Structure 1
Amino acid sequence: MTVETDLVTAFHRRLSGDDSHGQPLAYQGRQVPVYTGNAPADKEAPYVTIGRPRKRGEEALDGTELPEVRVQLRVHTAFPQGKGDHLLAYEIAGRAHDLLEAAPITVGGHKPYTPQPDLQPIPSYDKGDQQALDVSMDYRFPSL
């Protein structure tokens, strides 16, 4: 496995409650499903998807490579047309981040600090007869 896939696996296990922390992501007493890749087409909201990790790097002024791994979580919520509440996605995003910070995750033998994600609202879109309101959580891990 690579550091990138280790990171996705660690995120998925933590948010699903399948690691030593043992608490799944939940909202209003119900577990919020977490998927790597796409959720099943018939899956009702809310749920979280973990995107493909990206390894990038920059070069410092002295020529030193500064590698980083980026991973995106997307919190999906949906409501009947005209009844959406974008705060739900932010509440679930906050709970997801709290879980990721609750105890160290292990990635490639390391226990990296979990940084604050960059939260980005996704423009609303129609999903069948519902209005989807999502938020993207973009994490950057330097030097994994």
Structure 2
Amino acid sequence: MHIGSFVLAAQFPGQGQGEALHRAVRTGVAAEEAGLDSVWLAEHHFIPYGTCPSAVTLAALLLGRTSRIRVGTAVSVLPTQHPVALGEQAALLHHAAQGRFVLGVGRGGPWVDLEVFGTGLAAYESDFPESLDLLLRWLRE
């Protein structure tokens, strides 16, 4: 059995975004020290519930501060970015971290993301399968 931890960079009242992100990284390092197998990082935009706008970037930082634990995204919000660009980032981390990076993708949740990034509801409802297919084809080929 593999045991992992879900890490959310939540910003508590009176706390800055930087502290929320630093706490998330410290939590990931502590997970490795405790012997867990993986850490999964959440991506959220424009809300204090989660101040991490790029789970891939935070994963890169955590991979650099650990040596054994697998680090994954839970999730990278696919409708807010180009699938090939995300695939390139994932491939870079996979190779640089000697296979310890795991890419998790999803449709996201807060509608404000879709509005701000200009992708709209169609990216969430109907375009996701096509974007996922492109990402998978790019990673495989």
| TM-score (normalizing by structure 2) | 0.29
Q: Which has the higher contact order (CA 8 A, sep 6+)?
A: 1
Task: Name the structure where helix makes up a greater proportion of residues.
Answer: 2
Task: Name the structure where strand makes up a greater proportion of residues.
Answer: 1
